[in-house]
Chains A and B, each alone.
Chain A
Amino acid sequence: QVQVFQSGAEVKKPGASVKVSCKASGYTFNNFYFQWVRKAPGQGLEWVGIISPGGGTTFYAEKLKGRVSMTSDSSTSTVYMELSTLRSDDTAVYYCARLNIDMVGDVWGQGTTITVSS
């Protein structure tokens, strides 16, 4: 069964960094890209970026460039998203999703709540 499982909720202070993990299982990790999406309270879904399974290809949302970094560890079938210089408007549920051969998210993680508060 194809699954992706994300790390747990985090509370961070403004200016800090956070790193969220997303571990895949049930399929050949190296064959599929991942995307990250977030949903802030009262807002819609927002695309954060994508990463290839080997980590060599990344694309990030323009508004987050310079603060977001995505990496991959194929030895553990895990991708990571790190967001630095956190602000209160980064408070959101962050989702990772496997991208199918059509490059659309078909299997999603359960979400990770990141709260930024002083």
Chain B
Amino acid sequence: EIVLTQSPGTLSLSPGDRATLSCRASQRISSNFLAWFQHKPGQAPRLLIFRASSRPTGIPDRFSGSGSGTDFTLAISRLEPEDFAVYYCQQYGNSPWTFGQGTKLEIK
């Protein structure tokens, strides 16, 4: 199975800062089928990015995804207070699908 390693484990930033989150795969992800989710306590995960860089309708353009093969990045250009949460990457190109362990984005 593909192991996804996210870094850093915790990221401490202030509103208005730029955040850069990394997701590295143990092997190439087929068709760049890599998604990013935001997860807050008591809520369902929210899809932010799919196919590495595509944004669903309704997701603000301050969220952007990039990368291919085994290295992927989620960038949040100007942090808003509601962006502080845990972020997960998920690969859905190879069975079994897998998640990274998560990056906690906390207020500095």
- Using a CB–CB cutoff of 8 Å, the interface residues on chain A facing chain B are 35, 37, 39, 44-47, 50, 59-62, 95, 97, 100, 102-106, 108-111
Contact = CB atoms under 8 A, between A and B. Distances in A.
Interface in B1-20: 1
Dominant SS among interface residues on chain A: strand
B45 A37 contact: yes
Contact of B47 (A62, A105, A110, A111): A105
Contact of A45 (B1, B54, B92, B99): B99
A37 B90 CA distance: 11
A110 to B, nearest CB: 6
Contacts of A108: 44-46
Given A37-B45, A95-B45, A104-B92, A44 B102 contact: yes
A85 to B, nearest CB: 20
A59 B35 contact: no
Contacts of B86: 44
A5 B97 CA distance: 23
Nearest to A96: B44
B41 to A, nearest CB: 10
Contact of B44 (A44, A95, A100): A95
A30 to B, nearest CB: 21
A97 B46 CA distance: 10
Nearest to A49: B96
Nearest to A64: B96
B72 interface: no
A59 B33 contact: no
A110 B42 CA distance: 9
Nearest to B91: A47
